[in-house]
A and B are shown apart, each in its own frame.
Chain A
């Protein structure tokens, strides 16, 4: 089985060809994930139902991105774009934090009080992500002396 593209013969950039069994393995993993997430929805886990459902979705996404979309085999530039997009999308979490949102938008501080713990958990994670990203960017600019 040819594992590399034809231009590999010229000793240049190598296009990785994913083996068939990897594709089939990922396919089976995605089917198992779908069965699992559907099955778990019928079990009462309280706040953890949402967490488990989203965790399975993230794992399924990683399988698709890494193997079907070849990110596992791609050079760095593509990865920077993907990570960058998620960083930008992370800005939406500002909307979820009442303390940092204009009261005129109608979203006030503490608007989540008394709501589902799983939603509060999701927002807690998003805020943690936002804070860590802010620190990461600050550290980056400080290291370049442009703060």
Chain B
């Protein structure tokens, strides 16, 4: 570190959260953001592999995948999409509250709201979709029962449900991790760690939360919609 930089740090009190290895708070902010984007890049590759497998198997077993898609209830998928979009907005507003220097109660309010919406997503999924699927015997590995009307397409339907549970399950796992991160952020906000100059943890956690939202934005049409609901009789 140059002598001028040392002097600058010695003479100007550092904003909260400033780590000494960085030249200034902006560089620190940029480094944190870049690190999170690199992590998200690996996440794109992770989910990308799954989306590609889904595309291949859908091409190989199209009639089965259409039947499988009709087993899902669009209204719950759509409702959960709206819930996640709301949670993305409240997350963005939590970061904005810190940026414009609002009180910590404002930051906590939006963070808790985001957590409630995230939990609502998981609750709806568990109660109205996964539990319902279990009762209907369409969970692979948990008493999956072939229905006569599926005919020779039945094995492919089970394959679709494997993809459905694997993809939505992995997405839900990301949401649970996100809820944990939000919990930590609430604790940090309560201790007054965030200021208009230091809000990197809020921002990079927001990037993660929005990423998980984007995954759902693709899962919803791929799993629920592109089977064509018009032939399902509404």
Chain A interfacial residues counted at CB < 8 A? 62
Q: Per-residue 0/1 for A48-69: is the Cβ within 8 Å of any B Cβ (1 yes, 0 no)?
A: 0110011011001100110111
Tell me if A64 and B214 are in contact (CB < 8 A): yes
Alpha-carbon separation in the docked complex, A42 to B37 (Å): 37
Tell me if A53 and B226 are in contact (CB < 8 A): yes
Residues of B at the A interface (CB closer than 8 Å) are 24-26, 29-30, 33-34, 37-38, 40-42, 44-45, 48-49, 52, 55-56, 58-60, 62, 74, 78, 81-82, 85-86, 88-89, 91-93, 96, 99-101, 195-197, 203, 206-207, 210-211, 213-214, 217-218, 220-222, 224-226, 228-231, 234
Residues of B within 8 A of A102 (CB): none
Alpha-carbon separation in the docked complex, A95 to B50 (Å): 12
Q: How far is the CB of A84 from chain B (nearest CB, A)?
A: 7
Tell me if B196 and A6 are in contact (CB < 8 A): yes
Tell me if A6 and B101 are in contact (CB < 8 A): yes
Tell me if B41 and A85 are in contact (CB < 8 A): yes
Q: Of the candidates B49, B55, B88, B99, which one forms a contact with A5 in the assembled complex, judged by CB atoms under 8 Å apart?
A: B99
A interface, over-half SS: helix
A-B contact pairs, 30 of them (CB 8 A): A2-B196, A6-B101, A12-B26, A17-B96, A20-B96, A30-B85, A38-B78, A41-B225, A41-B229, A42-B230, A44-B230, A53-B226, A54-B218, A54-B222, A65-B214, A68-B89, A74-B33, A78-B33, A81-B37, A81-B41, A84-B41, A85-B41, A88-B41, A88-B44, A95-B56, A107-B56, A111-B60, A116-B62, A118-B226, A119-B55
